Amino acid sequence: MEGKTREEILRLLEANARYTAKDIAAMLGMEEEEVKNEIEAMERERVICGYHALVDWDKTDDEKISALVELKVTPQRGDGFERIAEKIYQYPEVESLYLMSGGYDFTVILKKATMKEIANFVSSRLAVIEEVQSTATHIVLARYKDHGMQLAAPKKDMRMVVTP
């Protein structure tokens, strides 16, 4: 299958993981079986790594918070950042880990937890890693858009129209 067709399938699934092979086949003018086989191949190759629901936790009773931690580290000779990244992404508290350019080397996104759990994780697990020089922890106050999806509904203008 052409790389372009694979990318089209991936873009459709990224936009809506609930599309079926039949839906995608109809949109791309392909056979359902061909799309199904390609999706299964991409799952085996780990091009497709999983399917998730995007949840607006602000609309639930969940009171846990999300945090983003920036880490400045000392890269290791021969391994660069790889060994350090491996130490960090093994923690179940870590939702995402990115190597970044700029003032900090890593951005760590933590799973939702209480403030105490986040503080404990950062101080007792991340900050004590030998290669970590410094950390900066940011608490997510509100999410307006995530994974390309607008979470907050635009506010309606409730002002009364006044005309002369």
Predicted confidence at residue 3, as pLDDT, reads 77
Please write the tens of the pLDDT for every residue from 62-94.
999 999 999 999 998 888 999 999 999 999 999
Structural domains of the chain, count = 2
Q: The tokens of 141 are what?
A: 């106050």
Q: The tokens of 122 are what?
A: 């950062």
Is residue 81 located within the same domain as residue 116?
Answer: yes
User: What's 93's domain CATH number?
Assistant: 3.30.70.920
What is the percentage of the chain residues whose pLDDT exceeds 70? Answer: 99
Neighbours of 110 (CB within 10 A): 22
Predicted confidence at residue 102, as pLDDT, reads 95
- Average pLDDT for residues 144-150, to the nearest whole number? 85
Predicted confidence at residue 163, as pLDDT, reads 78
| Residue 14 domain boundaries | 1-45
164 domain-assigned:
no
Is residue 135 located within the same domain as residue 63?
Answer: yes
Is residue 136 located within the same domain as residue 109?
Answer: yes
**Least confident span in 42-46, 54-58, 114-118:** 54-58
Is residue 79 located within the same domain as residue 137?
Answer: yes
Predicted confidence at residue 156, as pLDDT, reads 76
| Residue 39: burial class (beta carbons within 10 Å; 0-12, 13-18, 19+) | buried
What is the percentage of the chain residues whose pLDDT exceeds 90? Answer: 75
Is residue 138 located within the same domain as residue 88?
Answer: yes
Is residue 119 located within the same domain as residue 78?
Answer: yes
Predicted confidence at residue 37, as pLDDT, reads 96
Per the listing, tokens 């607008």 go with: 150
Predicted confidence at residue 1, as pLDDT, reads 64
Is residue 80 located within the same domain as residue 128?
Answer: yes
User: What's 27's domain CATH number?
Assistant: 1.10.10
Mean pLDDT over each residue of the chain, to the nearest integer: 92
